[in-house]
Structure 1
Amino acid sequence: MIKAVIRRDSKGQIFEFEIKGHANYAQHGEDIVCAAVSALSQTVIIGLCDYLNIKCDFKIDSGYLHCKLPFELDKQKRLQADAVLETMVLGIKNIKEGYPSFVKLYEKEV
């Protein structure tokens, strides 16, 4: 099962997310659920780091992805990051709706 944890600050803004596990929907290399979540979450990191030039602290490994944003973002960068991150959450929710036995999503305010 894939477990996605989204951590939000007191304003409701995402500052960190972690995705771990494997869906086990199908065999390795044929698992469309794993592929969808992986593509979505890795694209978010590309968007944050390469497109928005935000220096995120991230780690990607087999069945594991963690990303933490810097706390000091100007208002414009924060708005842009919010758009990218909230789109990821919507995508994960959509995948979870189609495959509820294979994806869990937890949103936590820290």
Structure 2
Amino acid sequence: MIKVNVVSTDVIEKITVSGHSGYAEAGADIVCSAVSTAMYLSLGLIEKVCPKYDFKSDEKNALMELTIIETNEFTEMVLENLVASLEGISSDYADYLQVKIKKRR
């Protein structure tokens, strides 16, 4: 199962994606493909507009981690859209993708 952990206060601070969905074999896994596409599309937008962020990717260990160090309104819209997209995928493929949102004060 792919696990997505979102950490937020008033804004989204960090998104961590880990694991394999197990939906299908590598190269034919539409859940993995959808999650990866959503992450990398969002990252492409963030690279252009976010003042300060950190992104780590470890394909061998099936891990992606996006940390927002300094945000702005457009970055937050991109991140909210990413989370909504991942939640949409999870609603259709709940056995293969779990999204957890942790609100900090």
Report the TM-score when normalising by structure 2: 0.91
Higher strand fraction (1 or 2)? 2
Give the match's secondary structure for 1:22: coil
What number of residue pairs does the alignment pair up?
A: 102
Partner AA of 1:100 in structure 2: A
Mapped partners of 1:32, 1:41: distance in 2 = 14
Flag structure 2 segments of 5+ consecutive residues without an equivalent: none
Flag structure 1 segments of 5+ consecutive residues without an equivalent: none
Residue 26 (structure 2) pairs with residue 21 (structure 1): no
Aligned to 1:30: 28
Cα drift, residue 25 of structure 1: 0.2
- After TM superposition, where is structure 1 displaced by more than 3 Å over at least 4 residues in a row? none
Contact 2:55 2:67 in 1 (8 A): yes
Identify the match of residue 55 of structure 2 among 58, 76, 94.
Answer: 58
Mapped partners of 2:40, 2:17: distance in 1 = 10
Cα drift, residue 28 of structure 1: 0.5
Mapped partners of 1:69, 1:15: distance in 2 = 5
What RMSD over aligned residues (CA atoms) do the two structures have, in Å? 1.1
| 1:17-54 Cα distance to aligned partner (Å, 9 max, x none) | 100001010001110000000110121111111x2153
